Structure 1
Amino acid sequence: MFEFAKQPVKLVKVSTPMENHGQELKLGVVLTIVGVFPNTILKAFGAGLLESLFRKPTEEERADLATDPDTLCMLRHPRMSPFSWDYETDGNQVTIDHGLGGDSDIKLVDVKVKSVEITPLEGAMCSIQWNINCHPDQKDVGALAAKQKQDIAMELNGPAPQSAEDLFNKAA
């Protein structure tokens, strides 16, 4: 599951579409986020993804690196362009640092993570762009819009396990 502790990311875009909820219209917010993560985050998107994009360094390459020789830190396909990944989850929680911490943080609940785009980077890193669809309090919409095109500190937590199977699969 794609989740992370407080991490610097960039809030690229804030969109505010009106959504139909039966006969009523409800303000929705779509946040486009991009962040750079260690390539091990790719395990959250599927088994084998990390290994298909990165490889161990050769003996010759290892001389130039100060990493563990078993680390998957070399790009398998250096010319690879960013690619979309079919990943979507509901029920996530997001906390965005609003400057003073604690009660001033913007907390978004029951958000949907979708539209994931992955870019493998040299040095055992990857850039991930994704959308967050949510329905924040109206007072938070302006604060989110004001943070557009800025670096922010964000935490993303996946949905709480709904069954014992979910709990044990998350721990695996």
Structure 2
Amino acid sequence: MFELAQAVKLASVNPRAEIHGEDRVPAFDLKIEAFCPNDLLIPFHPELRTTLYKKAEDPDLVEQLDGEALTALRFPKMGAIKWDVELTGYKVEVDYGLGGDSNIMLGEVKIDGFKISPQNGGSVGLSFRIICHPESEDVGRLCEFIQRDIDIKVIPPEPTTLGELFGEQKAA
């Protein structure tokens, strides 16, 4: 399952309305941009990382220490790719700087719009959209972070099957 706990850039906050039955409910799209180690690609598909990366032909000292490091781009002229998946039931915690109760908790979010940008050296640029319904008092706090780096935790839903409980993952 997709998980993330690191500093990211909150690129934009887009307010809009969703129709739930006959009611209009405020909704917000949070555009997230991050640079992550390429092993973050494994939950998307077990072979995605090995498809995009290979061992360096002339490894530097750090890469020599980890003989299995996949740090060179297999297709250096390939640009970003879209990954068409929609993740539901996730929670997102945004660190507001004081920790604990001051953090913004977003429950039952939907995550989609993944864009994967392989980078030489073993990192990957990742952007995605979080669709959420924050509390009124959190909207302004989220808007304060537009175009700034923030610390977030993307928390997957609890496992619902024994397979999920013991690590059998569905590709994201």
Does residue 141 of structure 2 align to residue 146 of structure 1?
Answer: no
Q: How many pairs align? A: 166
Matched ranges for 1:1-172 at <5 A:
1-5=1-5, 7-58=6-57, 61-62=58-59, 64-67=60-63, 68-168=66-166, 169-170=168-169
Match of 2:110, SS state, is strand
Match of 1:166, SS state, is helix
Aligned Cα RMSD in Å?
A: 1.1
Could you tell me how far apart the structure 1 residues matched to 2:104 and 2:131 are?
15
Gaps of 5+ in 1: none
One-letter amino acid of the counterpart of residue 119, structure 1: S
One-letter amino acid of the counterpart of residue 2, structure 2: F
TM-score (norm 1): 0.93
CA deviations on 1:33-87 (whole Å, 9 max, x unpaired) are 01000000000101100000000122xx12x342123211110011111110012
CA deviations on 1:72-117 (whole Å, 9 max, x unpaired) are 1110011111110012110001110001110000001100110000
Match of 2:42, SS state, is helix
One-letter amino acid of the counterpart of residue 33, structure 1: I
Q: CA deviation at 1:165?
A: 2.6
> Is the Cα–Cα contact under 8 Å of residues 57 and 69 in structure 1 kept in the other structure?
no
Runs of 4+ in structure 1 over 4 Å off: none
> Is the Cα–Cα contact under 8 Å of residues 14 and 148 in structure 1 kept in the other structure?
yes
Could you tell me how far apart the structure 2 residues matched to 1:163 and 1:136 are?
29
CA deviations on 1:141-164 (whole Å, 9 max, x unpaired) are 111111111100001111111222
CA 1:86–1:65: 2 relative to 1, 3 Å: farther
Identical pairs, percent: 37
One-letter amino acid of the counterpart of residue 3, structure 1: E
Could you tell me how far apart the structure 2 residues matched to 1:66 and 1:91 are?
38
CA 1:120–1:100: 2 relative to 1, 3 Å: same
Could you tell me how far apart the structure 2 residues matched to 1:28 and 1:65 are?
48
Could you tell me how far apart the structure 2 residues matched to 1:65 and 1:31 are?
39
